[in-house]
Structure formats: structure tokens, C-alpha cells
């Protein structure tokens, strides 16, 4: 059976680090208040001349270096973002050019904070169907560009960054012992679009800013994240006890803790980077994966579950044997 096996990961964070204390100058907030409610201590903001595709390119090059590949070794690039440089063309095609790829194809996926899970699922499908042998999956965001800096409930939560992962086709036995993507589970429900959205867009001719009903998003997140992870595991006959690492969307430490408890996984088996990166939307999971590999946490053979939820609402999970 054809499997999509991870060959390299990489990430990039902008140079500017913004600690919680910086928000105390302009908002009725404090380092203690932000940490207590989110677990976030700092985040990175892109420079004025840095775009989402710039961040994505740095992460892509890091992943290529780890995999020992160059740009033209990649057949396809799937880039998850809600903050592309331009309305069109896609940020993915800009990365394609920046890494010197002239023989593949590239496109963006937009599912907000669940974007990387959606992109990873699409990349897996391209490999499983034989449409590509090597696919680069990227999550990249510059959410600092869509913040309402007067809204203390949202602007302190988000940051900028990018992460990339390279998948390559390999033959497996078709069971849960195989390396690579073992299962995916994707979901969305447009009835909840008003819980997390940007109040502008191309057809409204207004860039807009991020708006969120935090308490409602929290309630949906814990229930839906645990369920989608369970479903993805069940598809390959596995359960929480088989999981080496859960790598969740890094939105809020309380959501991460509550979801882990509901899933039945101890926090010692959960990768947590939210304290250093904040919520980087579609970049959050690949950033956490790359960081965990660099730290020596995730190793070959480990069973990894990623799960995320974002505006839409859209949510999903992917099970990977590293």
C-alpha cells in the first residue's frame, strides 16, 4: 500500500519577539492575565517588509535541507494560510518560485486554524492516488496584520510564523505499523461561522479584522477536537493508549489540557509550544512538529496525532507514524 512518509520538517519565526508585557502599554491587561487565560508568554511578529510567503519560504528551505532535497525534487506544494500576500496568485506559487521549483504545481488551502490538517490530508490524497510522489505541506500566517489592537480578548493571542513538512511516497503493508499518514478525519459546519471570523474580505472591499466569541469557541473546540482525534485513531484500529505524541493546534493551554483529558492522554505526551509562539493559526501544528523534532521529542516510529479547529467552524485530525 502506498504511504505518505515524513522526510523532513522545518520552521521559521520572525525576528521580533513580543512579550506579554508589551501589551500593558496600550491595553488594560497584564502578563499574568494573559498567561492565566491562554498560557501564552510571548509571540513573534513579522517585520513590516515580511510577507506570509517570505515566512513560508524560510520554513520550506529548512525542511528541504533536513530531507536532503532541492526545490525540483518536490512534485507539489500545498500551503495552508488565511493571510496570503495577495488575493491572487497563491502564496504557494510564490514559495514554488523562491525554492527554484519549475516542474511541479502549487496551491493554497484556506481552513483557518485547521488549515494545516486540511492541507496535510490533501497532500496525503495526492500521494495515495499517485498524482505526486513528493509533496511539501506548509502552514504560514501573518495574523498580526488582521488584529484589532483595541480588543484585548483577541490581539494578545495571535502570532506569526511558518512550518513545513515534506511527504514522500513509500510502500507499506497497509496496517497501523506502517510509517506515514495512516488516517485523516475532516469536518466543518458553517452554522458556526459567526463564532470566529474576519469582518471583511475581497467582495466586501474591506480587509477586516479578526472577531471571536471566545467562550463558545472554547466549548466547541474541546468537544470536537477530542472526537475527531478519536475518530481518526479508530479508522486504523488504534486508541489513545497507542499514541506517542499528540500535537494539537496551539491556541490556548486550557483548550489543550481539556482536550487531552477528554481524549485520555496525559499532558506528558502532548507537545506544547503555545507559550512561545501564541496562536499562529495554520502555522501552529507544523511549527510544533518541527520544534518537537528539533528538541528530540518526536522520533522515527512514534505515533503522532495532530488535531485542530478554526473558523468555519472547520476541524480535523491526522494520524501519522513518524
pLDDT band at 85 (very low <50, low <70, confident <90, very high): very high
pLDDT above 70 covers a percentage of the chain that reads: 100
Span 147-197, pLDDT tens digits: 999 999 999 999 999 999 999 999 999 999 999 999 999 999 999 999 999
Nine-digit cell at 55?
Answer: 515566512
Which cell numbers hold the place of 187? 469536518
Q: What pLDDT does 4 receive?
A: 98
Mean pLDDT, residues 3-12: 98
Average pLDDT over residues 198-207: 93
Could you tell me if 33 and 94 are in contact, meaning their C-beta atoms sit under 8 angstroms apart? no
If you average pLDDT over residues 233-245, what whole number do you get?
Answer: 98
pLDDT score at 91: 98
pLDDT attached to residue 285: 98
Q: Find all residues with CB under 8 Å of 7, minimum gap 6, and list them.
A: 66, 67, 69, 134, 166, 167, 168
Q: What percent of the chain has pLDDT over 90?
A: 99
Give the pLDDT score at 200.
96
pLDDT of residue 34: 97
Question: Across all residues in the chain, what is the average pLDDT?
Answer: 97
Average pLDDT (49-53) is 98
- pTM here? 0.98
Q: Specify the pLDDT at position 174.
A: 96
- The residues carrying an active-site annotation are 113, 249, 279
CA 128 to chain centre: 22
Residue 322 to residue 44: CA distance in whole angstroms:
28
Whether 243 and 269 have beta carbons less than 8 Å apart is answered as yes
CA distances from residue 195 to 71, 283, 298 in whole angstroms, order as listed:
39, 21, 34
What span, in angstroms and rounded, lies between the C-alpha atoms of 129 and 237? 22
CA distances, 199 to each of 144, 148, 176, 212, 293 (Å): 15, 11, 43, 10, 37
pLDDT digits 0-9 by tens, 252-269: 999 999 999 999 999 999
In eight-state DSSP terms, residue 279 is B
Average pLDDT over residues 44-71: 98
Amino acid at each position: 500500500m502506498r504511504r505518505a512518509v515524513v522526510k523532513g520538517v522545518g520552521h521559521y519565526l520572525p525576528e521580533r519577539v513580543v512579550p506579554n508585557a508589551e501589551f500593558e502599554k496600550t491595553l488594560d491587561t497584564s502578563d499574568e492575565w494573559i498567561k492565566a487565560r491562554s498560557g501564552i508568554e510571548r509571540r513573534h511578529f513579522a517585520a513590516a517588509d515580511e510577507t506570509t510567503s517570505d515566512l513560508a519560504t524560510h520554513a520550506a528551505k529548512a525542511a528541504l535541507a533536513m530531507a536532503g532535497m532541492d526545490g525540483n525534487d518536490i512534485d507539489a506544494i500545498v500551503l495552508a494560510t488565511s493571510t496570503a500576500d495577495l488575493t491572487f496568485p497563491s502564496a504557494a506559487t510564490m514559495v514554488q518560485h523562491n525554492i527554484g521549483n519549475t516542474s511541479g504545481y502549487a496551491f493554497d488551502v484556506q481552513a483557518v486554524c485547521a488549515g494545516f490538517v486540511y492541507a496535510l490530508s490533501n497532500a496525503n490524497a495526492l500521494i495515495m492516488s499517485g498524482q505526486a510522489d513528493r509533496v511539501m505541506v506548509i502552514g504560514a500566517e501573518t495574523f498580526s496584520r488582521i488584529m484589532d489592537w483595541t480588543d484585548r480578548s483577541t490581539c494578545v493571542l495571535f502570532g506569526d510564523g511558518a512550518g513545513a513538512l515534506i511527504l514522500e511516497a513509500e510502500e507499506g503493508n497497509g496496517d497501523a505499523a506502517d510509517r506515514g499518514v495512516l488516517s485523516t478525519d475532516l469536518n466543518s459546519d458553517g452554522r458556526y461561522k459567526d463564532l470566529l471570523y474576519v469582518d471583511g474580505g475581497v467582495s466586501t472591499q474591506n480587509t477586516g479584522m479578526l472577531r471571536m466569541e471566545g467562550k463558545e469557541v472554547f466549548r466547541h473546540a474541546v468537544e470536537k477536537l477530542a472526537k475527531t482525534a478519536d475518530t481518526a485513531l479508530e479508522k486504523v484500529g488504534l486508541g489513545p493508549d497507542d499514541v506517542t505524541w499528540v500535537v494539537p493546534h496551539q491556541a490556548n493551554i486550557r483548550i489543550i489540557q481539556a482536550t487531552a483529558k477528554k481524549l485520555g492522554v496525559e499532558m506528558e505526551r502532548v507537545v506544547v509550544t503555545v507559550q512561545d509562539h501564541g496562536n499562529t493559526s495554520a502555522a501552529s501544528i507544523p511549527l510544533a512538529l518541527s520544534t518537537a523534532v528539533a528538541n528530540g521529542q518526536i522520533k522515527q516510529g512514534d505515533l503522532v496525532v495532530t488535531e485542530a479547529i478554526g473558523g468555519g467552524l472547520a476541524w480535523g485530525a491526522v494520524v501519522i507514524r513518524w
